[in-house]
Structures are given as C-alpha cells and as structure tokens.
Structure 1
C-alpha cells in the first residue's frame, strides 16, 4: 500500500490567485456515484480528495455513523476509520476474534502506519452497500500496544496516523484493484515469507504484547467495492482540470462499477494497462530508467519521482521548485505489451503552496532513494477519467487493470 501525503504546505497565503475558481465534474446522478471533494478538509493540507461514508453495526439501520472527509485512496484496499470519528457506534462494531484475543493490524503506508482493531461493519457509500465486511478502526488501542515487529521497525513510531491531523482525514477509503489488503500471502503459516501485518491482541491489553499472526482472507480488511451487490468490478475516478496556479477547491466524481450500467460504460478509445495485484505498472520508463514501478494513486498529494529538478527549501521540504514550469514525460507499461506515453507538469511548489489553493495540478516531489518508482498522485488525475479494474481472477474474471 502507498500513501504519500506530505506534511507541509497547503496553508496560508493570498486567496486572490488567478486559480481560485472551483472547477467540478458532473454531480452524482446514480446510486453508484459519489462526489470527491478537494478543499481545506480537516488539516488544511493540499490535494486531499475526500468522500463521505456511512458505517453501521452489521444489519442495523440505526447504529450508524456518517463520516465525512474520508480520503479517497486508489492504491490501498479497504476502509480504515478513526475511532474518534465513529462516536458511540464504534462500540457496536464486533471485533474479529484471533485465537484467545482480538485481531488488530499495523497497516503500513509509504511513510506511516495505522494501528487499530479489525471489526465487522456494514459500509454504505452513495447508494451502494458492502454488508458485514472487515474494516480497521484506527486508534482504538493504546499507543503502548503498538508492536515493533513489522510496524515500528519499518516506520518510526512517531509516524502513527491515529488522529485526523496526522491522517489528513477522518479515515481512508482504499478502492484500489485488490480485493483484500494482503491476500493469500498473509493467510499462510507464519514464516519469513509471510508479510502479515496482522496481530492477535489480548482483550483490554495496555502493553505491547500483541503477537503477529497469519489471517484468513475472509478476515482481512476488504475493499468495499468488491462486496457491493452490483457495480462491484472497479471504480472510475474523474477530476476536472485545474489552472496552473491551482483552485481553491475542486469537486470530482467517483463511479462504482465498470460496464455494469449506462453511467459507467468504458469507451473503446481508452488505453488499458494490465497491472499487478497492487495496481503497479512494473515495466514503465522514466528519466532514462527502464523497469520503473509506476502507479496511479489519489492518496498521494503530488507526483513523486526522481527528476533533475531543484528541490525546495524548508517551506516545501521534499517538493520540487523549478524556476519555471517543466513538462515531464513517462512511458507506462504493465504486465502486457500495451505501452502509452503520458505527460505531467512540475511547477515551483513553494509558489503553489503560497496561493492558498487546495487543488494543485502541478505539484511534484522527490521519491527519495526509490529512483525506480514513479508515483502518479492526485495531480495526474486532474482533467482525466481513470478506470481502476479490480482483480477478478480468483472468480474466473479478468486481471486488474488501469485505464484512461
């Protein structure tokens, strides 16, 4: 899973920039559509697309909590919500058992992690419902219980995303191409080859005595889209184009299902790239490097890569600050032979972050030491319609894909 939401920028500055209009795509018109809003949100950070989700106790129409400002993330899988956002409903969500304890997870992202129990809930998004699926409730266990194995030995303990300000949202809605967040690899017996980030914790534990365990696929945090009664084979994400200086806000459209009804038909003119299980296009080329792992990710607030561009100073640490807008080119290729060339812009991040706009189309940053990675984050989505097809091979369907 990948979530790169930089903890800088997006704050003050003038509100009178040329790009302060608020472009939007068509509003939701079907039960399988919801709006995705980019605005100041809960933390004042930039390029954070959010949707509204309702979480209910299984089978209940009354023990429900509607949660706004949930991050739309196309490269993680499953719903993770802050315990504080659930209110009293959190106590009515059954915890999944694990041995003599309860199941918890340290879900690792690129620079951070979420820690909390796995519980069963009905998840309502727009007019769609995923009944009785495992979700993660973040922050419902004491910080002292966070395990070191496969958690803080990979990411510093200070990078726990257990508050709205740390997460930049009230939760994460992972609608990437995988059905669950780990699959059969985590269900195997524990060994050095099992990547499980799941743990069995004694009930009411207050110390770090949780034990890493294998977990059945049916108990893993599950992509809600895959459990909808219909419109369950993928998602379509549309965001409007924004001016070079950005926009104060922007509203996009998320449509569930691909070719399942009239409002989600995929035209034959789009380019389809077969991806791996994580949604990666492993055979891409960028900046003269072949075999680059490229991926499209609304959960990243910039485009992140290694480029020959000057880095910004401390006001926009980790972002690029070219003297003038640059157009960069990459060649994307997945598992098959289909190849497509894409362009994206890199502008001075320091200047962009001073505009006071929250939808920034030309924001780019460094991928650190991972020169073989091209993270086509939210800015890449502006002005496009992007299709994320779920991995349906286990049920005899097609392989996961990205199309635009």
Structure 2
C-alpha cells in the first residue's frame, strides 16, 4: 500500500479474500488440496517436487530466520486469517493512548504492517468510545476548521479525521503524541468528490482487510512538501479543511500536522526498521511469523547486514529493469503478491481475476538499481494462483503474483520478504542526516 504515490498497483486484496472463501467451500465438499504447513517449514528449492511445478521450476528460496521478537526494539509479525481473512497480510499490535494519559489506552491487534506507506491509520470502529472521544481532532490554526484526510491507495481510499495520540509498539513509545488518521469516523456525506473519485471506500475492517495500517516506509510523514505547499496543495493535497466538520476542501498542511511515521518519533531506534519474515513452503502455509525490528545500527540486534543497499527517493522507490523495460520498483510488505506486467504469463479466470495462473512453475528475474547505481538481480518464483488458493486454509504464500494496473512498475510484495531481512532507512536529509535506502 502506498499513500500519495503515482505508481498505482493492483493489490488483489478483495480477489484474494474471495478466493479463500470460495476454496474453503470446496474443501468442505471434499475438494481442494495444497499445504497447510506451519511457518517454520523451509521452502523447497528450485526444480523440486512441490505441488504445482508441472515441469517448471522455482528459484531457490531465501532461508533467513527472524530473531526472537522479545527485545526492547523487536515485536512479533503475524500472517494468518487476521481480521478479515485476506491472504498475505502481515500484522502487528499497536497501542494508542490519549495525549498525556497512561491509562486511557487501547492495544489494537491486526494492524497491517506496510512498508509502502507512512503513518498510522486505525479504523474507528475498533477503538473504544472512551479513548476515541479523548483523541483530539487536529484543526487548521488560521480557521479552526477540523482536519481530515483522504489517504489514497491503488485499490481505493480511506477517509477520516486527523487526530493525535501517543503510540506504543512493543516497548517503543513516541516521545509525544503524533498525528494519525482515524478511518471512517466521519459520515460518508462529508467525503468530497475529489476523494470519492479515487476508487472504492476502504473505511471498514472488511473493506480494508485489517483493523488499520502501520506505515513504516522510508518517509517520516505521509505527504511531505507537496501538502505543505499552498499552491501544490490545492491540486494534490490529501488533507482537507472541514469547517464545522463538513464542507471539506483541500488544504495545505505543515509537516508537523501531517500523519507521522511513528518510528521517526521514537526516542532512540528512530532511523528505520528491519522486516524479518520466516521462510514458508512453496505450496503455501496456514500462517507465518516474523519480527519487526526498530532502528538500524542502534542496538546489538539491528546491525546492517545486507548484501545490497539501494538508496531511494523519499517514498522508497528505486529503479528496475524487467523484460527490457526500465521502470520504478518498490519493496512493499503492504502488497499481498508480486505485481508486475508480463504478457507471457497466463492470467487467471474471473474467479481469481488479477492474479497469474501459469500452467507450470515460472521464474522471472528483475534487476533492481538504486539511486546510488547499486544493482542486483532478484529472482522470483510464480505458481498458479488457483492451485495455491485450493486448500482454502493457507494464508501465507511466497510465489503468488498478479498483474499490475496502469503502469510498468515492479511491485515486490510480501512474497519477496519470506526468508529475508529487508531494511528501510528513513529519509533524514531534512535534518542533514542520511538519505533513505532499502536493503536486503
């Protein structure tokens, strides 16, 4: 997932949700197949006998194991049925507290971990009313109008107020209250047409696929200079001023009021994250686990130990070459599959629309190039999506792929993360610090 980003991508969340529901019914009637192996199962190497190869081959899968998520700066990642039964959704638990309070707090599970967006967003219906009413709505200083946000993603948008709260993830707590989006707390009648025209509304748990989104990508906030500029904001800001809570119109918002990447506000481990996912079987697994580590080079457990370090733009984009085409690429835990364009791969039928269904296992190679000109070839495996979904009980897949919509970008989604350590260093150039990078 990614906010305020021009590289649209087909996420396939709803298709995947439908696929799981439909194939679960087949299993109940004696159909289906596939694996429900646990998250500790190692992936089979290329050319193995895994179901669905059908004479094809897969690349050797990475085999790194996550560290134990019990450090001061490490928390558990879980992939499973989650809040809405969507496949390949990594989730963590987040605690939010009313500003200045240590008692009016709530821990919310099944928050999607998204390295392709920036900032915390929580569905209002999962927050208890006592806490929700204590989270102050941000206002525009010059007018007193309430501040709302239309966060746009490739498959839709979230609409809700901008409020402030103290955020704790594991044992890491922001140094003060920070802006976050409360999804769906404003009536549908307040949604401006410039927002509703961005696709489908994702203001409920079932539509979003989780209880919220934790954006921990390379940017310290979710819009940056574009939304802070008075002229640019009139055309492209995702922030809205709502006098008396209604009649919402686009507005400029300074950085301090923009939805903030919580990691940037931690006292020590605030320069980035490491996403560590355990490997899974090539035929899928019922669930998977991993560890989210805060900070890079700030503790004994988060040293940079990557073979490739790619500097990126603020949004975490690098370049790629695939099938002779150069285009942006991104490593995005918020995408539940690999998404890219390849006319040689058979697409699935309408039941699994948007995914690839090759008759045999396939391997594709994309060359990633950082802004520092560091380049590396990444091999990805692709199995028939219908075969993978056939068990109806598996939620973790390392070789699921689909077609990207509307552009030639290469989206390395969650399948790429299994068996790897993926690093995201925040953009600190505004304060004279390091440039953003991704690494693995």
Q: Normalised by the shorter chain, which TM-score bucket?
A: over 0.9
Match of 1:253 in 2: 291
Which aligned pairs between 1:4-403 and structure 2 lie closer than 5 A? 4-8=11-15, 9-11=19-21, 12=24, 14=27, 17-23=34-40, 25-88=66-129, 89-98=131-140, 99-130=143-174, 131-149=176-194, 151-153=195-197, 155-156=198-199, 159-191=200-232, 195-205=236-246, 209-267=247-305, 269-281=306-318, 283-290=319-326, 292-307=327-342, 308-355=344-391, 356-370=393-407, 372-403=408-439
Q: Which runs of 5+ in 1 are unaligned?
A: none
CA deviation digits over 1:255-277, x for unaligned, max 9? 0000001010112x521000111
Separation (CA, whole Å) in 1 of partners of 2:81 and 2:368 = 32
**CA offset at residue 25 of structure 1?**
3.3
Separation (CA, whole Å) in 1 of partners of 2:79 and 2:138 = 34
Q: Which runs of 5+ in 2 are unaligned?
A: 4-8, 41-64
Contact 1:19 1:243 in 2 (8 A): no
**CA offset at residue 191 of structure 1?**
4.2
Separation (CA, whole Å) in 1 of partners of 2:152 and 2:356 = 25
Question: How does the TM-score come out when normalised to structure 1?
Answer: 0.94
RMSD of aligned Cα (Å): 1.5
**CA offset at residue 193 of structure 1?**
7.5
Separation (CA, whole Å) in 1 of partners of 2:20 and 2:167 = 31
CA deviation digits over 1:129-183, x for unaligned, max 9? 112100000000001111112x223x23xx1111111010000000000001111
What is the DSSP-based 3-state SS (H/G/I as helix, E as strand, rest coil) of the residue aligned with 1:10? Answer: helix
- Of structures 1 and 2, the one with the larger relative CO (CA 8 A, separation 6+) is 2
**CA offset at residue 195 of structure 1?**
2.3
Count, aligned residues: 393
**CA offset at residue 6 of structure 1?**
2.0
What is the DSSP-based 3-state SS (H/G/I as helix, E as strand, rest coil) of the residue aligned with 1:199? Answer: strand
Question: How does the TM-score come out when normalised to structure 2?
Answer: 0.87
Change over 3 Å in CA distance of 1:373–1:193 after alignment to 2:
farther
More strand by share: 1
**CA offset at residue 287 of structure 1?**
1.8
Separation (CA, whole Å) in 2 of partners of 1:343 and 1:7 = 27
What is the DSSP-based 3-state SS (H/G/I as helix, E as strand, rest coil) of the residue aligned with 2:14? Answer: coil
